[in-house]
Amino acid sequence: MAKDTSQKLKMTRILDMLRMDSSKEEPLTTDILCSRLMNEFQIVCDRRTLSTDIQYMCEHGFDIKDCRVGHKKAYYIESQDEKLSVSDMKIILEAIQASSFIPEDKSGQLTDKLIRIAGGEGAGLLKKSKVCFNVTKHTSDDTIKNIDTISTATSGGKCITFYYFDYNERSEKVYRYDKELYTAEPLAMIYINDRYYLIAYSLNRQEIRTYRIDRMDEVLLTDQAAEHTEADIPVDDYKKQVFMMYGGEPIDVILSFDKSMINVIFDKFGIGTPMMKKDENTFFSSVVVQESQMFYGWLVSLGGKMKIVSPEALDHRYKEWIRKSIGEEGE
């Protein structure tokens, strides 16, 4: 059962909390687990998906017990084995493979280390893992380095400087505001839908801003002390942002889109996705999408700035879906 990266990381956090803080006498309720996932790790989770994740882990050998605390469902682990099991390592291995921000070569290095740690029969089982993930890997480990620098700045109460960029149709970096140097006080990092975001107080703009960490370049730690912390800024309001994903049957599609949608194309289909320029403001791309109502909804959410050119049958189904959605009769 393939899981996206946030789900895999979420399960490791759930296991950590249950192993360290739960017992038969003091189980952890679903409300507590969901709240801690958000407050401590910035991972979005609700009670329904938590139950599904725990069921998945139980099916793969984890001895997680459930019970009732009043009217609420709760969980605990009785045996506290400090050693990583093969099942533990398999989840970590799959999380590494599914993480787009971990480059292919780095993923291979981490996987090899896990296999060496497992040893013997465990190594054989890990090598046989054949889960495939629909993920476009980054080509460098800049995001990992950025996260490390930001973490150091946050723990030390220091500011950071960086440049912020978008991509043009040739996959080239285009720095914002003529490569203005940003100075910011890091407040919190959020991991959601396989992307890291930084919530920071911008000294350039004198307000809270959110930045894509993989779009930050030359992130450096400074000696300047940060005046704001997460404690006195309403960071929780920003943590509640949800970023849409979609799934369904794959189909080859040619999309026409406005120049302002270049970053959207790269986000969905990977940096370097080929583009053809029609005029100054219009581009085309041939991509594989997953046809579904969520895909249609994604197109609608872009406000008409992205359209289906072909296949015509898909465009017809999309427009028919829109008509039905607004209560109009079909053709």
Domain residue extents for the chain: 1-82, 87-139, 142-239, 249-325
Q: Which residues contact 119 (CB under 8 A, 6 or more apart)?
A: none
Q: What is 249-325's CATH number, 3.30.70, 3.40.50, 1.10.10, 3.30.190?
A: 3.30.70
| CATH code for the domain defined by 1-82 | 1.10.10.10
Higher pLDDT, 147 or 78: 147
Higher pLDDT, 17 or 78: 17
Strands 195-202 and 182-192: antiparallel
Task: Tell me how crowded residue 163 is: count the other CB atoms within 10 A of its CB.
Answer: 17
Q: Give start and end residues of each alpha helix (H) in 189-233.
A: none
- Give CA–CA dist 144/138, Å, rounded: 11
- Give CA–CA dist 26/14, Å, rounded: 15
End-to-end CA distance of the chain: 40
Query: How large is the average pLDDT for residues 318-323?
Result: 92
Q: Give start and end residues of each alpha helix (H) in the chain.
A: 5-21, 30-41, 47-59, 86-98, 104-118, 120-127, 142-156, 235-239, 262-269, 293-301, 312-325
pTM: 0.54
Rank 185-194, 233-242, 294-303 by mean pLDDT and report only the highest. 294-303
Among 128-137, 199-208, 316-325, which stretch is predicted with the lowest mean pLDDT?
Answer: 128-137
Give the pLDDT band of residue 130 (cuts 50, 70, 90). low
